[in-house]
Chains A and B, each alone.
Chain A
């Protein structure tokens, strides 16, 4: 059943994606730093940024992982069409995003209160939930695109989708937080 070819392609596809992620990660450092400095101005937001980035990577990593399984199993066809199974997957990711972003907002508020930082809970909740939803929607569709496209091209989505989305997700999420902070003020 498992052929040599399957594992040599895991190695080659995996190496190329991880090398790309390394460069993105190195580039992201400077970009994230600039953005994060701007974000420190909002009380409590600094506590929230890293957990929100991790959360984004986790929800999308799991989504990408489910898509990989579903494509292999044939549960979700390799077409850019919103089938019932795909819709359930997208909606669950977004519901989870809302619940977990709200949890993080409340935790950031509690941490702020305990450590004596002045925080506005409503503002933190709005920022975490709106930025979470915004990045969630963008990344959900990017993940579907990457998984389906790679599957159609004969590339195993399990080898590339989760790593790629986790790395690109950091960029998009920080950018979304930044935009929402600009709007909410």
Chain B
């Protein structure tokens, strides 16, 4: 029996991809407006990192949940040990990798010859923004995986594209809010 069909993959994915391009355009336009305020700061370096790695983290959880749903190891309900362990490990993985990047940002900032205090402030901005983003990554991934599966769609086709687009908008927003409005880089 054929499991994958060309028509189904294309019909399920095309609207999702166009939606993602539109979300991407919104993200680009929002960023464009704030670009002047953060020009020359470390925030410029942080945005692609938080977008990229945040999306990657969600991709791991998304791909795992999709496999688990297909295998029947997880049912699309907000309970059960497998879901709990996946969410918990993703949260730990997120904390570990964002701390790792936080240290890298601290070192890069020092390398640019700014004061120890300013470098710490930059690392703090990244850590706070990533702590804000982590629940968004995990919840949007779980919701998209379960909702698409319940609707009879293949979560493999939906979760990664939509989630990474949401994260692009959310990551820039978190960083700009923390950096510009709260810490004041």
Contact = CB atoms under 8 A, between A and B. Distances in A.
A11 B89 contact: yes
The 6 closest A-B pairs by CB, nearest first: A163-B56, A61-B160, A58-B161, A92-B9, A158-B63, A162-B59
A154 B151 CA distance: 32
Interface of A: 1-2, 6-7, 10-11, 14-15, 17-19, 21-22, 25-26, 29, 50-51, 54-55, 57-59, 61-62, 64-66, 68-70, 72-73, 75, 84-85, 88-89, 91-92, 95-96, 99-100, 103-104, 107, 156-163, 166-167
A98 B152 CA distance: 26
Given A69-B156, A162-B160, A18 B71 contact: no
Contacts of B159: 65
> Secondary structure of the A side of the interface?
helix
A2 B64 CA distance: 12
Interface in B96-130: 96-97, 100-101, 104
Contact of A73 (B71, B101, B165): B71
A11 B93 contact: yes
Contacts of A6: 85
B166 interface: no
B149 to A, nearest CB: 11
Interface string B35-70: 000000000010011001101110110111011001
> Secondary structure of the B side of the interface?
helix
Contacts of B81: 2
Contacts of B172: none
A150 to B, nearest CB: 12
Nearest to B97: A18
A18 B93 contact: yes
A58 B82 contact: no
Contact of B63 (A19, A64, A73, A92): A64
Contacts of B28: 50
B13 interface: yes
B170 to A, nearest CB: 15
Interface of B: 2-6, 9-10, 13-14, 16-18, 20-21, 24-25, 28, 45, 48-49, 52-53, 55-57, 59-60, 62-64, 66-67, 70-71, 73, 81-82, 85-86, 88-89, 92-93, 96-97, 100-101, 104, 154-161, 164-165, 168
Given A51-B24, A92-B10, A11 B82 contact: no
Contact of B164 (A17, A61, A70): A61
A26 to B, nearest CB: 7
Q: Which of B3, B49, B82 has the most CB of A within 10 A?
A: B3
A61 B59 contact: yes
Contacts of B13: 59, 62, 92, 96
Contacts of B165: 54, 58
Contacts of B60: 10, 14, 17, 158-160, 162-163
Q: Which of A10, A11, A162 has the most CB of B within 10 A?
A: A162
B112 to A, nearest CB: 14
B96 A10 contact: no
Contacts of A29: 45, 48
Nearest to A165: B59
Given A19-B100, A21-B56, A73-B70, A2 B160 contact: no
